[in-house]
Structure 1
Amino acid sequence: MSELPVVEKGSMGRVAYARIAPNEDLLYGVEKMCLSVGFKNAFVRGALGSLVDGCILGGDGQNLVVKGPAVEIVSLAGEVRSVDDGSVRAALSGVIADPEGQVYGGPFVAGLNPICMTFEVTLEEWLPEDLRAAS
């Protein structure tokens, strides 16, 4: 018998649009953005940009490095969650394309995905019911 899915009640909050600067890591940039606007939890709603090189977690559990320059992010999805120490952690997955047009998909590895020129991202705040009650 499989486990029942976890369902979290809550509501959507504010929306933030921002640019992540060149050479800043994708995941760390999204985390920094959330902290700067006061989002404890958020969902990625849109993104556009490229990476110098890309690094995703392959199906075998090993890092798959995709060499650039200009590895395009074709799609990006994920969330940011608060951690007990007050920080936040991004968990982002997506599809990337190398300069020859080969595509790869999987979770992005933190610290190994530097932004190429610029990167635009839209985040929507998530307000879980239990956190809203405590505020």
Structure 2
Amino acid sequence: MSECRLVEAGQMGRVAYGRISPNEDLVQSVEKLCLAQGFRNAFVRGALGSLVDACMEQHDGSALVVRGPAVEIVSLAGEVRAQTDGSLRAALTGVVSDTQGQVYGGPFVAGANPICVTFEVTLEEWLPAEGAVTAPPLENT
């Protein structure tokens, strides 16, 4: 069986540091920060903060709600991509810890992850080159 992977050429651009205010949504706020900085595409490079509650998508499409207050984000990774209609869409995945120290992971559901006190995030702009290069199929051995 063959697998095809997309490799996108480009270069890194500017770096922006942003603070998200209490009760603002994590995913939507990262999109807004990119819009404010003029980033059409970006990577999340670092983050620090907590959520009131966390809502993460599970493999079966259901949502896992982790109740707070103060659900800590242990790690956060993701990217923001320009859509064909000109809007931006953030895809953020992370690991959170509840008030008892249990950890959970997965993609954050947009509109369902309110910031607790404040949240700091570092974004790095991605400037894709014209067109994309598709790598040859990988052989399974």
**TM > 0.5:** yes
TM-score, normalised relative to structure 2? 0.91
Which stretches of structure 1, 4 residues or longer, exceed 2 Å deviation after superposition?
Answer: none
**How much does 1:12 deviate?**
0.1
Q: Which amino acid aligns with 2:106?
A: G
Match of 1:36? 36
Q: Mark the runs of 5 or more structure 1 residues left unpaired by the alignment.
A: none
Structure of higher CA gyration radius: 2
Q: Mark the runs of 5 or more structure 2 residues left unpaired by the alignment.
A: 132-141
> Does residue 99 of structure 1 match 2:99?
yes
Percent identical: 73
Between the aligned partners of 1:44 and 1:97, the Cα distance in structure 2 is: 19
**How much does 1:3 deviate?**
1.9
The two structures, once aligned, show a CA RMSD in angstroms of: 0.9
Cα deviation, 1:64-102, whole Å, max 9, x if unaligned, reads 000000000000000000011211000000000001000
Match of 1:57? 57
Between the aligned partners of 2:58 and 2:98, the Cα distance in structure 1 is: 15
TM-score, normalised relative to structure 1? 0.95
Between the aligned partners of 2:39 and 2:102, the Cα distance in structure 1 is: 35
SS of 1:130's equivalent in the other structure is coil
Q: Would you tell me which structure has more helix in proportion to its own residues?
A: 1
Match of 1:89? 89
Q: Which amino acid aligns with 2:88?
A: V
